[in-house]
Amino acid sequence: MLRPLDFEPLVDTLAKARVVMLGEATHGTHEFYELRRLISEWLIVKHGFRFLAVEGDWPPCADLNHYLHRVPAKGSAREALESFHRWPTWMWANAEIVRLAEWMRSHNSRTLDKMRAGFYGLDVYSLFESMQAVVDQLEKINPFLARRAKVRYQCFDAYHRNEKAYARSLLRFPEGCESEVIEVLQDLLRLRLSEVEARIPGVSAALFDARQNARVVKNAESYYRALIQADDESWNVRDRHMLETLDQLLVHHSEFGNPARCIVWAHNTHVGDYRATDMAGEGLVNLGGLARQKYGADNVALVGFGTHEGTVIASHSWDGPIERLRIPPARSGSVESAGHQLAGEFKAEIFASVFGSSASSSLEEFRDHRAIGVVYDPRRERWGNYVPTSLSRRYDAFVFVDRTQALEPFIVGADLREIPETWPRGQ
């Protein structure tokens, strides 16, 4: 078992940044979740980081956040994680996240309210769940606006909570429900609480949650619109939404003169700077690169993760069954192949490298860097699953685990009417 002390120098270096992003080379590796948990705990306890934002949907992450703050919610972490019913359920409904959640709940019970750690979702997929959340929260604080939102959202009723059906309808009726979702968000952004209302327990939090869910609805509509028109732009809509959400969270948690700091968990394809890969040439951006551009490279620490071989939780097809699949040895000449050689020289199963201005020129050279999504076929490794990468430009640090094992998922019934999380690219 890796102890936090082993990574103390790495964590102390990362803690100089305002935003620390922790990647992963797959969506189903035990070691990536455990290492990120240990690093996150250290950043929260020793350096005062305020919240964790993940590549997950806002509403189920809110359920888990309620559990962490002992707000009336589920009775256990595992029960709270049953809210993650969008395929692939295993990304967050797993034993590794239970350990993180129980630790965060315990930590929060010993911490002042304003310093308690939060857990939030950055993703854009929860179109229908977020519409319901907007109405539910507005009914608590402004029933008139709740009725207006409900009427506007009825534009989606014909699609029976089916995002794919709505996306297809845009080919015939391109106006869709775009104006309706924008109007609901504008209503919420204009809404101001009176001093009396703001002092009522839970009201300010309900307004923040309603605004964010309305933002999800607006950007989800844009995402499905872009998906029909151009797949590449849908990726950009998604990652720009992640940055917008992250920015709102940083503002929400900051106090006058004391800006909040946070941790992000997402796949390497979202974390590693897009300008150090072939993504930029394809017109794609991502969260890590956008964050460097917005907050400044010195204020953002991007950490990549990689493995040479092992096992992983994934599936052979979209909406397919959970499978424990073998990861074959990495391609010759790849980042992971080089990592395997270094692991042998260091006699270390796990090691971390921190890059800086003095990084070796060889680390700037482009090499293939493995990227495994939720849909994975090990037999096709020779044709895909690698991204050309300049490692020291893409990340500020890189954590390598030579041999990894699959995480431990829960069996949560997936709602197969929903567009899968990470669709259509799998990352």
CATH of the domain at 42: 3.40.1660.10
Report the distance separating Cα 65 and Cα 72, nearest Å. Answer: 11
Within a domain: 416? no
CB count in 10 Å sphere of residue 392: 22
Asked whether the beta carbons of 24 and 32 are under 8 A apart, the reply is yes
CA R_g for the chain = 21
298 and 197 in a common domain: no
Q: Exposure string (b/e) for 201-219, b if CB count within 10 Å is 16 or more?
A: eebeebbebbbbbbbbbbb
Instruction: Please provide the DSSP assignment of 86-152 as one string.
Output: SSSGGGTSBHHHHHHHHHHHHHHHTS-GGG--EEEE--S--HHHHHHHHHHHHHHH-HHHHHHHHHH
117 and 179 in a common domain: no
Q: pLDDT by residue for the chain (427 residues), tens digit each? A: 455 557 888 999 999 999 999 999 999 999 999 999 999 999 999 999 999 999 999 999 999 999 999 886 568 899 999 999 888 999 999 999 999 999 999 999 998 888 899 999 999 999 999 999 999 999 999 999 999 999 999 999 999 999 989 999 999 999 999 999 999 999 999 998 876 577 777 889 999 999 999 999 999 999 999 988 876 899 999 999 999 999 999 999 998 778 999 999 999 999 999 999 999 999 999 999 999 999 999 999 999 999 999 999 999 998 889 999 999 999 999 999 999 999 999 888 999 988 876 666 678 899 999 999 999 999 888 788 999 999 999 999 999 999 999 999 987 554 444 455 555 555 5
Within a domain: 422? no
228 and 198 in a common domain: yes
Within 254-346, residue ranges assigned H as helices are 268-271, 287-295, 335-346
144 and 115 in a common domain: no
Within a domain: 421? no
378 and 285 in a common domain: yes
Query: Which own/partner pairs from 142-148 qualify as long-range (CB within 8 Å, at least 24 positions apart)?
Result: 142/191, 145/187, 145/188, 145/191, 148/184, 148/187
- Residue-number span of the structural domain to which 219 is assigned: 127-238
27 and 85 in a common domain: yes
Instruction: Please state, rounded to an integer, the average pLDDT across all residues of the chain.
Output: 91
- Please list the residues that pair with 389 across neighbouring strands: 277, 367
Domain count, the chain: 2
Within a domain: 252? no
266 and 169 in a common domain: no
CB count in 10 Å sphere of residue 355: 18
Within a domain: 60? yes
The string of pLDDT tens digits covering residues 37-54 is: 999 999 999 999 999 999
Backbone angles phi, psi at 265, to 5 degrees: -115, 125
User: What's the distance, CA 425 to chain centroid?
Assistant: 15
76 and 136 in a common domain: no
Within a domain: 44? yes
Within a domain: 319? yes
383 and 294 in a common domain: yes
Within a domain: 214? yes
Say what the pLDDT of residue 392 is. Answer: 95
Q: Which of 181, 206, 238 is the last residue of a domain?
A: 238
Say what the pLDDT of residue 418 is. Answer: 46
43 and 25 in a common domain: yes
Which amino acid, 382? R
Question: What's 334's DSSP letter?
Answer: S
399 and 283 in a common domain: yes
Report the distance separating Cα 128 and Cα 224, nearest Å. Answer: 13
266 and 219 in a common domain: no
The string of pLDDT tens digits covering residues 199-247 is: 777 889 999 999 999 999 999 999 999 988 876 899 999 999 999 999 9
Say what the pLDDT of residue 363 is. Answer: 80
